[in-house]
Amino acid sequence: MTTPPVRARDLGFLLHDWLDLEALLAYPHFQDHSVETVDAMLDIAGRVAADTFLTHYKAADSQEPHLVEGQVRILPAIHQALAAFAEVGMFAAPFDAEVGGLQLPQLAYSAAMAHFMAANVATSAYPMLTTGNAKLLVRYANEALVKACALPEIEGRYFGTMCLSEPQAGSSLADIATRAVPDGDDGLGARYRLFGNKMWISGGDQDASENIIHLVLAKVPGPDGKLIPGTQGISLFVVSKVLLEGSEYAGQRNDVVVAGLNHKMGYRGTANCLLNFGEGAHHRPGGLAGAVGYRVGGVGQGLPIMFQMMNSARISVGLGAAMLGYRGYRLAVDYARDRRQGRPIGARGGPPIAIIDHPDVRRLLLAQKAYAEGALALVLYCARLVDEELHGPAEGRDEAAGLLSLLTPIAKTWPSEWGLAANDLAIQVHGGYGYTRDFDVEQLYRDNRLNPIHEGTTGVQGLDLMGRKTLKDDGASLATLRHRVTATVERARHLPALADFAHVLDVTWARIGALVGHLKAAGDDVASLAQATSFLSAFGHAVVAWQWLDQAVVAGSLAATDDPDETAFRAGKLAACRFFFETEVPRVDVWLGIVGRRSDLTQTFDPAGF
């Protein structure tokens, strides 16, 4: 049995000491669970992740998915791992009991998924997409589609995808050109024939599940036969690889084919496909060309509905990025303790010392700890907000929803950028060995390099935060966040070791508030949005600084202990907080200064100069 890739105490502190899982379990929706049942589920997750996901991490990287007669074949060990995942109920864990789920809080489920993503993020992508797909269907699809698609996904028999991007459109969904032509009705609802191409589809084809459920964005032609421009014309469709029970063409192969595989630098175990819908050359359900799909929601409502899965996927990407950074950090700590090289500064002779005793190596490890554990804390905090929004007391649900919306671009981007930075430092700690394939840290870096692009690039997230979430918002969510920051500041002021950090945090957030007021008063959104990425960087660092201080308050307030391991753990939390405030928080002023100057360089520079 392999050692679980995540330390139980790291998750235990975040869940129990910091985020108060016990209070969450007091919500009526979670009454069938207890701290003990959640801890048991986490223990199972850790062991299954270690025994079935971690064990093929290297093999999945070297033996990529490949095409055999139009069918994608993936590593058999991935099949076995996903079967084990289903067997212990992990596909079902976050769903309500009425659809066959275990009704686990999103916070607990995210902590369980942390084990799998740390062990093998590429294999974890299949269930991550499947659960997001099924959640959307349970919420928005008709009863027949839920029964035909979502329930088998919850059982782990069918897998799901999200099909948004197209070769010519990329992230600009307004420019998608896939057409959905009405084709009558049958037992699954309004039926359409889809024609178009989708690119970068993770899990777009594989041979590990009985069927694949694609959620496809497409446009229904208007009365003139033309596609409606912009996002208003986008609708959402369920397109299965094999036509579903209830369909007029049940059991027939749908007109969806793999046109090619994308070979990425990381996540190599995840089949990533170019899919053609409706080419009619290989499969013609009912004797006609066109991929048969069923509409979810009304015509033109596709993008707002799809945002549920997109936002969920963004937080999941953040979790994966955090765990890649975390695993690289833990491997770097182990290596630094074992590797003996050099001597103490000023020493003349003597045996080599462990490199962890060199101050600069400790600096590298502290940075990794601050980034990786800070990223994990951020994502789990957002998972708790999901539970508060959906199942908490009615009077607090809108506040939780607003705060979650504000933090979602941070939860996606900050772990992706700074978890990657942690992976970079893990290679540095390993020295020359770090960039060889004999050690996992080089693969972890390659895997994590995809995450600043996955589910919307850093620039796209910056525009979302600066535009919709700040300049166009009424400020209520930012006020909620500021209130929570102030509560942490007030608690930290009374702890001598943290009082100075409390003052710095208070001043930092006052500067952010003043800058936001200045930008709104200026009224030049174009100039402000040109600096959106710098604003995102500053905001993200300020959020993580708040959460590190909050964790430090909790760690410093725990009951006294004689356990040396627990003493060291708490000291590590306080040291990481101190490191973040001394080394990382000063960056915030630099970024805010860039935003405040509102330079027009990137707007006015002639591209010919490149």
In one letter, which amino acid is 160? G
Query: Average pLDDT for residues 199-210, to the nearest whole number?
Result: 97
Of the pLDDT bands very low, low, confident and very high (cuts 50, 70, 90), residue 2 is low
Query: Average pLDDT for residues 304-316, to the nearest whole number?
Result: 93
Give dist(CA 338, CA 442) in Å, integer: 19
Query: Average pLDDT for residues 226-250, to the nearest whole number?
Result: 94
Nearest to 305 by CA among 397, 231, 377, 205: 231
pLDDT of residue 171: 79
Residue 583 has pLDDT above 70, yes or no: yes
Query: Average pLDDT for residues 38-42, to the nearest whole number?
Result: 96
Query: Average pLDDT for residues 162-189, to the nearest whole number?
Result: 93
- Residue 546 has phi, psi (to 5 degrees) of -60, -45
Query: Average pLDDT for residues 75-84, to the nearest whole number?
Result: 98
Nearest to 344 by CA among 328, 355, 329, 333: 355
Annotated active-site residue 153? The verdict is no
Angle between helix 476-492 and helix 499-522 axes, rounded to 10 deg: 160
pLDDT of residue 521: 93
Nearest to 127 by CA among 305, 2, 313, 304: 313
Residue 1 has pLDDT above 80, yes or no: no
Catalytic-labelled residue, pool 388, 455, 490, 584: 455
14: left (phi over 0), alpha (psi -120 to 50) or beta: alpha
CA dihedral 297, 298, 299, 303 (to 10 degrees): -50
**Per-residue pLDDT reduced to its tens digit, 93-139:** 999 999 999 999 999 999 999 999 999 999 999 999 999 999 999 99
Of the pLDDT bands very low, low, confident and very high (cuts 50, 70, 90), residue 169 is confident
pLDDT of residue 352: 95
**Per-residue pLDDT reduced to its tens digit, 425-441:** 999 999 999 999 999 99
Q: Which residue carries 């994590």 as its tokens?
A: 448
Mean confidence (pLDDT) of the chain: 96
Residue 346 has pLDDT above 90, yes or no: no
Task: Quote the pTM value.
Answer: 0.97
Q: Which residue carries 């359409």 as its tokens?
A: 192
